[in-house]
Amino acid sequence: MRIVIAGGHGQIALRLERLLSAGGHEVAGIIRKPEQGAALREAGAEPVVLDLESASVEMVAAVLQGADAAVFAAGAGPGSDAARKDTVDRGAAVLFADAAQRAGVRRYVVVSSMGADATHPGDEVFDAYLRAKGAADDEVRARTSLDWTILRPGALTNDAGTGLVRLEARTGRGPVPRDDVAAVLAELLDTPATAGLTLELIAGSTPLSVAVKDVAGN
């Protein structure tokens, strides 16, 4: 498959790029800064420099042309303010979905967040982040022309992945290594029957390939 990843220089995205390229897939990662390109090439991905906060839907659709799947893994990141949570975590996710539709890319996987909710209360930046992610998820789920899957990981860690997870519609809170998030994303991309599911992910006791098959009903 050809897979295009928004937020290609993120910690989860770089792990996913390595996994997908090692699996024989053609991978492109959208990045904001040219100097990030070396890390993507090292991960086996083609870097595409494009700022999703200022790009038009036509520009993004051009990058997605001919792709088999799109993964939204971008985020404003730590230290960003509430305004950028809206423009990146919500706005860029919606733009990427618009572009996928325009380019005819049906498979659309979103890296969201546990607790994402468009109506989440609170005035802190993290509250704004959860509202932005929730609103983006709602926008994506409303699109019948996308075979979407939304993954909501728990607290992300840099611990080595174990390959053992809990993946369900509701898991309750808990940590999960970024390694395992990336591996689950790769499995989801290979499992079209997970389309239409919103899933929470934390560390657990089930081998991740089995966990993905279970939620897909296989």
Could you list the active site residues? 129
Q: Are 60 and 52 in contact (CB under 8 A)?
A: yes
Q: For the stretch 142-170, what's the b/e string if a residue is b when 16 or more beta carbons lie within 10 angstroms of its beta carbon?
A: ebeebbbbbbbbbebeeeebbbebbbbee
In the predicted model, residues of the chain with pLDDT beneath 70 are 218
Query: What's residue 218's pLDDT?
Result: 66
* Cα-based angle 29, 168, 166 (whole degrees, multiple of 5): 80
Non-local CB neighbours of 171 within 8 Å, separated by 6+ positions: 114, 154, 200, 201, 202, 204
pTM over 0.85: yes
Query: What's residue 118's pLDDT?
Result: 92
Q: What is the rounded distance in angstroms from the CA atom of residue 124 to the CA atom of residue 39? A: 32
Query: What's residue 85's pLDDT?
Result: 86
State the residue for tokens 């970024």: 178
